């Protein structure tokens, strides 16, 4: 079965919302249909994962063209309000051109998130650009099936010569997709150097976490760098140097990067060397919680402590445990902050909204024996736009506190 008509004159199959499903939300821009909202008769169940279909409301009025995966909780994703749209290289090129225009207005150099999934009209697709290279994360079944057309359009629109498919992560598992990372076009001879906020980062596009670098923290790195002038900095869950290298570029006296990954810390050290900061930079490999406890036992003190963990609450069932983990991080980190120093706490959990994360962080700081002012709340950069109808597209939160004595 082909996932879409090869001939535009062919018709798509139709799928229909249940009578009590909220068609108004779809009409007003919500991009998803959940499994309990769609009529899943035998014909719908027979659609291959990633198949295209026309979505109708209960009165059989067309809502647009969707991609269907009956094995996913998100059973349908809106692709185009035109039910006759043809999903081909030209269709991808239109959306990529629009996404590129925004990033070229925002940034002087081609290092950014080019496509932020639903917010850029390409549900389940993330593309990060690293100069002449780009990394695609096809996190939905339809994206996997249309990857050749997407890659061709990406090369045509941006001129990139290297395209990597990063097929890893929780989202692919939810779509029933296997993990796979490979170079689709061109060749790589090592990590890519990315200059950002005055620091040099080394991004491993084939073996690193996610796409190799976290562009979403760029504005929060910059804010932390302002706090770091002359400071002793601790960067926990540092990855390839994250906040630590930005802080050093901002004039920090020293920075200690903590991460469980030895390869990530090795890339951080290479970045420090490339930026002429190696004499002020140290790393410490280990579990973050255990390392925070050990530093506390050692009586270590820092003027700026930042914790940027992975998503502790990636889904609603994980929310309670995730909030406890965020509280524990704050409790362990707060005593390490010198009087009048700063504590930065981050969350990339979809399920933990800003209020819940802020409350967990404040509880942890209090349990750590400290009090403080919340001086700044940060989010992802503008190359990670938010679809207003989809709260999940605005996942990143960063809280900066000034702690008392």
Q: Which residues are part of the catalytic machinery? A: 348
Contact 215, 128 (CB under 8 A): yes
Rg value, the chain, Cα: 23
Sign of CA dihedral 218, 220, 225, 231: negative
**Residues near 101 by Cβ (< 8 Å), separated by ≥ 6?**
none
Contact 215, 201 (CB under 8 A): no
Sign of CA dihedral 147, 149, 150, 155: positive
Question: Measuring CA to CA, which residue among 358, 383, 404, 388 is closest to residue 106?
Answer: 383
Label residue 203 exposed, middle or buried (CB < 10 Å: 0-12, 13-18, 19+): buried
**Angle at alpha carbon of residue 120, lines to 91 and 106, rounded to 5°:** 115
**Angle at alpha carbon of residue 144, lines to 313 and 147, rounded to 5°:** 125
The residue whose two tokens read 């939300």 is 25
**Angle at alpha carbon of residue 241, lines to 238 and 243, rounded to 5°:** 75
| CA–CA separation, 115 and 103 (whole Å) | 9
Backbone angles phi, psi at 169, to 5 degrees: 115, 165
| CA–CA separation, 398 and 221 (whole Å) | 10
| CA–CA separation, 296 and 291 (whole Å) | 8
């Amino acid at each position: 079965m082909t996932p879409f008509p090869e001939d535009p004159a062919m018709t798509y199959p139709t799928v229909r919302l249940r009578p009590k499903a909220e068609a108004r939300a779809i009409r007003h821009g919500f991009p998803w249909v959940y499994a309990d909202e769609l009529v899943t008769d035998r014909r719908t169940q027979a659609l291959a994962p990633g198949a295209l279909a026309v979505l109708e409301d209960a009165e059989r009025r067309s809502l647009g063209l969707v991609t269907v995966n009956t094995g996913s909780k998100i059973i349908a994703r809106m692709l185009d309000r035109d039910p006759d749209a043809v999903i081909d290289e030209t269709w991808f090129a239109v959306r990529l051109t629009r996404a590129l225009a925004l990033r070229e207005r925002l940034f002087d150099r081609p290092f950014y998130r080019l496509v932020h999934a639903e917010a850029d009209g390409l549900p389940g697709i993330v593309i990060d650009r690293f100069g002449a290279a780009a990394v695609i994360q096809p996190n939905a079944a339809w994206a996997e099936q249309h990857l050749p057309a997407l890659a061709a359009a990406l090369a045509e629109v941006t001129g990139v010569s290297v395209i990597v498919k990063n097929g890893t992560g929780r989202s692919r598992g939810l779509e029933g997709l296997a993990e796979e990372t490979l170079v689709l076009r061109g060749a790589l001879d090592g990590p890519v150097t990315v200059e950002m906020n005055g620091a040099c980062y080394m991004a491993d596009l084939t073996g690193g976490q996610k796409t190799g670098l976290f562009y979403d923290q760029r504005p929060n790195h910059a804010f932390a760098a302002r706090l770091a002038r002359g400071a002793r900095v601790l960067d926990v869950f540092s990855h390839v140097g994250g906040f630590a290298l930005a802080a050093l570029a901002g004039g920090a006296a020293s920075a200690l990067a903590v991460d469980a990954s030895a390869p990530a810390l090795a890339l951080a050290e290479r970045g420090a060397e490339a930026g002429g900061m190696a004499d002020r930079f140290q790393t410490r490999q280990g579990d973050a919680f255990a390392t925070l406890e050990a530093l506390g036992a050692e009586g270590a003190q820092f003027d700026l402590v930042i914790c940027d963990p992975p998503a502790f609450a990636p889904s609603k069932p994980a929310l309670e445990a995730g909030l406890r983990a965020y509280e524990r991080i704050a409790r362990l980190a707060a005593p390490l902050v010198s009087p009048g120093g700063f504590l930065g706490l981050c969350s990339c959990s979809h399920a933990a909204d800003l209020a819940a994360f802020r409350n967990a962080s404040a509880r942890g700081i209090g349990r750590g024996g400290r009090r403080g002012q919340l001086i700044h709340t940060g989010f992802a950069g503008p190359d990670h736009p938010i679809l207003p109808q989809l709260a999940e597209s605005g996942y990143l939160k960063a809280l900066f506190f000034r702690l008392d004595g």
